[in-house]
C-alpha cells in the first residue's frame, strides 16, 4: 500500500519528522500522613533536555502540546479510610510554563491573604441567596506571559464508618487535552538555551490520613527548532 501524496497538500511543507519531541511526567508526591495539608512545589527542565538541550545559537518554538493530568493515591486499591463518616478528598492543581520562579505564578488564595491579585475591581454584588449566606465573587489574576497552561484534577478516597458500616467508593479524575499554539495564536512561545519549562503545583488533601498521594502532569511537547544569530523578544520571534 502506498501513501496518497495528493491528499497531503495542505501540510505538504512539513511532516512528523520535521519536529522534535519531548515527553515529560511531572509527579508531585505528598508523603505526609496528616489529616489535612497543602503542599506547593516546583520543578523544571530544559527544552529538549534529553538530547542535550538547546545550543546557544538555537531557539525552539512550542508548536503543540498533548497533556494528561491525573491524581491518585500511591496504592489506589489498597488504601481505604476507616473510621471516617465522610469521604476524604484530594486535589492536584497548578500551572505549566517557562521560567516559573515561585508560587506567585499560581492564581490562588494562600495564607498571605491572596497573592497576585491584579484586578482591583469594585467588589462583588450579591444577586440572590436562598439561605442568606451572602455569596461573594473574588477576582484574582496576573498578566505573566510565562504561564502557558492551568490544570486541576480532583478525587475522593473510599471510606467506611466503623460505627454505622456506611461507606462509599473511591473516585479519581483524569483528563487529556491538546493545545495547538499555532492554530490558536499564530505562533507558539519561542524559547532559547537560557529558558526552562516546568510546573508550579499544589497537592491538597482534606479529611484524609493516607500518605503516598501523587498528582501527575504528563505532557508531550512538539518543538520546531531553528538556528539564529540574535535573540528576540521574550517568547517571540528572534531578530534576523
pLDDT at residue 138 greater than cutoff 90: no
- What is the topology classification, in CATH, of domain 18-111+142-227? Jelly Rolls (2.60.120)
DSSP-H helix ranges across 105-232 = 181-185
- Is residue 111 classed exposed, middle or buried when 0-12, 13-18 and 19+ CB atoms within 10 A define those classes? exposed
Quick check: pTM over 0.75? yes
What count of Cα atoms within 13 Å lies in the side-chain half-sphere of residue 234?
9
- Is residue 28 classed exposed, middle or buried when 0-12, 13-18 and 19+ CB atoms within 10 A define those classes? buried
Residues 6+ apart with CB under 8 A from 235: 98, 145, 146, 189, 190, 191
Q: Are 62 and 177 in contact (CB under 8 A)?
A: no
In this prediction, residue 174 carries a pLDDT of: 87
Backbone angles phi, psi at 95, to 5 degrees: -135, 155
Instruction: Convert the pLDDT of each residue in 187-240 to its tens digit.
Output: 999 999 999 999 999 888 877 766 667 899 999 999 999 988 765 566 677 665
In this prediction, residue 223 carries a pLDDT of: 96
Neighbours of 182 (CB within 10 A): 14
Q: Are 212 and 74 in contact (CB under 8 A)?
A: yes
Instruction: Convert the pLDDT of each residue in 44-101 to its tens digit.
Output: 999 999 999 999 889 999 999 999 999 887 655 444 555 555 667 888 999 999 998 7
Domain boundaries, the chain: 18-111+142-227
* Average pLDDT value over all residues in the chain: 78
Q: How far apart are the C-alpha atoms of 33 and 31, rounded to whole Å?
A: 7
DSSP designation for 77? T
In DSSP terms, 165 is beta-bridged to: none
Rounded mean pLDDT, 96-115: 68
Q: How far apart are the C-alpha atoms of 115 and 112, rounded to whole Å?
A: 7
Distance from chain centroid for Cα 34: 25
Amino acid at each position: 500500500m502506498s501513501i496518497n501524496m495528493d491528499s497531503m497538500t495542505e501540510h505538504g511543507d512539513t511532516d512528523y519528522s520535521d519536529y522534535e519531541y519531548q515527553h515529560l511526567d511531572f509527579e508531585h508526591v505528598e508523603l505526609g500522613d496528616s489529616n489535612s495539608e497543602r503542599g506547593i512545589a516546583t520543578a523544571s527542565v530544559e527544552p529538549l533536555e534529553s538530547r542535550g538541550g538547546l545550543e546557544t545559537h538555537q531557539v525552539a518554538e512550542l508548536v503543540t502540546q498533548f497533556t494528561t493530568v491525573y491524581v491518585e493515591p500511591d496504592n489506589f486499591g489498597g488504601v481505604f479510610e476507616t473510621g471516617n463518616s465522610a469521604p476524604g478528598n484530594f486535589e492536584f492543581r497548578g500551572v505549566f510554563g517557562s521560567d516559573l520562579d515561585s508560587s506567585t505564578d499560581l492564581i490562588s488564595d494562600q495564607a498571605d491573604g491572596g497573592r497576585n491579585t491584579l484586578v482591583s475591581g469594585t467588589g462583588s454584588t450579591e444577586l440572590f441567596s436562598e439561605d442568606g449566606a451572602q455569596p461573594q465573587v473574588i477576582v484574582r489574576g496576573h498578566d505573566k506571559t510565562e504561564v502557558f497552561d492551568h490544570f486541576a484534577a480532583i478525587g475522593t478516597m473510599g471510606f467506611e464508618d466503623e460505627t454505622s458500616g456506611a461507606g462509599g467508593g473511591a473516585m479519581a479524575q483524569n483528563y487529556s487535552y491538546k493545545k495547538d499554539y499555532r492554530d490558536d495564536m499564530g505562533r507558539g512561545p519561542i524559547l532559547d538555551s537560557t529558558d526552562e519549562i516546568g510546573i508550579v503545583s499544589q497537592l491538597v488533601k482534606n479529611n484524609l490520613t493516607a500518605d503516598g498521594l501523587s498528582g501527575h502532569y504528563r505532557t508531550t511537547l512538539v518543538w520546531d527548532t531553528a538556528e539564529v544569530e540574535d535573540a528576540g523578544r521574550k517568547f517571540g520571534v528572534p531578530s534576523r
